[in-house]
Amino acid sequence: MPWDETNRMNERVRFIGSYPEDLEPFSCLCERYGVSRKTGYKWVVRYESDGVAGLEERSRAPLLHPHAVADEVLDKILRARKKHPRWGPRKLRVILQRHYPELALPAASTIGEVLRKNGLIQKRRRIRRSSPYGERLGYYGKPNAVWCADFKGHFPVSGERCHPLTVSDGCSRYLLACRSLRRPLFAPSQKVFESVFREFGLPDTIRTDNGAPFSTLAPGGLSRLAVWWIRLGIRPERIQPGRPDQNGRHERRHRTLKSETAKPPRASFRAQQRAFDRFREEYNEIRPHEALGQEVPASRYQPSNRPYPRQLPQNRISGALLRRSDLSQRNALF
């Protein structure tokens, strides 16, 4: 014959069934069923008050939660997240403190748990990062010391390809420009930079990748855009091929830009540019930045004291100098 199956509920029922009929002391009955007298009396009291249903397992969760998030605060957290669906708990906490200083807000970790329980957080894909590049690049020591520029990956807009050109200040993270171009060519890119130079002045260095129009296969890799920068007294600085992490502050912004403005793309180039302009205003003036102590980039940026010249200097780069191919010589030049 197979063994009889049993569980805790069956054992409790058998214990209660033996209780009124058993002539042995109550302590001996409890010892036979492997429970303490305190536990035995607990099940007897529950059975006498609630019947067999009283023998079911009950939740041990407390009835009151003194540290629970208030409904008013919970509602404002969820509203803020829906308004800014890609902002994390820290940024949401800062923006709520700014608008509702009278509220007792929970910690950022608690806000994150609230978002998780309400299905507003997706599990992040793990990103494998390479080791840092050994050669020293320019230092983001002050505003306008190093500007970062790049084309965010193109995407379709109204049957054409949109190539967003972004320019930012490395120190303050201030987004100087975000312009939608149809092609990443010298002439339209120069117009964007000229507009930025006129508004914010000239930086000491501009860091880019090795793609067009920032670099070419010419001697030294100098493009027309890079030569123009040099004539303005700006040092072109290019990261190592295949190492976007060397321009990581700027690249990380592109992920946010794509999420906020290109999913989905707008119906026309004009509408897409309006989306870029709104993003730039929010990024610079409203969105807290964790690397800046939850301050906004606009609070850390100030225009350059080097104005854009009315007339381009006439100095030229000689052909002999352009033929230098050694990396150390090019670094010494720039």
pLDDT, tens digit, for every residue of 211-222?
888 888 776 778
Give phi and psi for 203, each to the nearest 5. Answer: -85, 170
CATH code for the part of the protein at 146-316+325-333: 3.30.420.10
**Cα separations (Å) of 238 from 153, 187, 227?**
18, 20, 13
pLDDT of 13 reads: 81
Per-residue pLDDT tens over the stretch 150-208: 998 888 998 899 999 999 999 999 999 999 999 999 999 999 999 999 999 999 999 98
Closest by Cα among 180, 176, 150, 142 to 270: 180
pLDDT for residue 22 = 59
Tokens of 265: 């793309």
> Is the confidence at residue 44, as pLDDT, over 50?
yes
CA atoms within 13 A on the CB side of 49: 9
Report the first-to-last Cα separation within the chain, whole angstroms: 91
List of residues 6+ apart from 194 with CB closer than 8 A: 308
Q: What is the mean pLDDT of residues 311-331?
A: 46
Residue 107 to residue 218: CA distance in whole angstroms: 55
Asked whether the predicted pLDDT for residue 82 surpasses 50, the reply is yes
pTM of the model: 0.62
Are 255 and 263 spatial neighbours (Cβ–Cβ below 8 Å)?
no
The DSSP annotation for 58-95 comes to ---S-S--TTPPPHHHHHHHHHHHHHSTT--HHHHHHH
